[in-house]
Amino acid sequence: MRSLRTLILIMIIALLTVGCSTSTKKADLDNFLLLEVSKPDTDGKTYIEYKTIKDAATVTEIKQIFIQADESNAMASMSRNADRKIILKNTNPVASSEPQTYGIWYSPDSKYVEVVSETFGGGYIKLNLKESKIVLEVL
């Protein structure tokens, strides 16, 4: 009877140890993210992908900037189609997240960028100069 209790206790400890040690780190999850950058076709209504970015650091940086648009309550109706579109995809086979699409508009002087989250109900933000430079480098 005592050996059975000892065996059960050892099994519980082993299960807890294995369960806690296999937790997925956020950095590991970011390795499955990629950005697809597209530009308007000649007709201006459809978009053609012209660049895919897989660098985890770059993708994470852009994602952090775009979270502001996802969380924004500001709504915008732009007068023209987006200059570029960026799609944030999670390629993790066990992930169940949908791709997130963002419309990108350049300001007339091309120093600032405006972002509209097309996935989360159209949240709008105008990026500051520093964040605009980061996004423009990707485009």
- pLDDT for 47-94, tens place per residue? 999 999 999 999 999 999 888 776 777 777 788 889 999 999 988 877
Please give the tally of structural domains in the chain.
Answer: 1
What would the pLDDT profile of 107-117 be if each residue is shown by its tens digit? 888 889 998 88
| Cα(113)–Cα(133) distance, integer angstroms | 8
Is 32 a domain residue? yes
- Give me the chain's average pLDDT, please: 82
Confidence of residue 30 (pLDDT cuts 50, 70, 90): low
Is 17 a domain residue? no
Q: What is the CATH number of the domain that holds 90?
A: 2.60.40.4400
CA distance to 12, 30, 102, 110, per residue, from 124 (Å): 50, 24, 10, 18
Q: Is the pLDDT of residue 121 over 90?
A: no
pTM of the model: 0.73
Burial class (CB in 10 A: 0-12, 13-18, 19+), 40: middle
Is 12 a domain residue? no
Domain that holds residue 90: 24-138
- Give the gyration radius of the chain's Cα atoms: 22
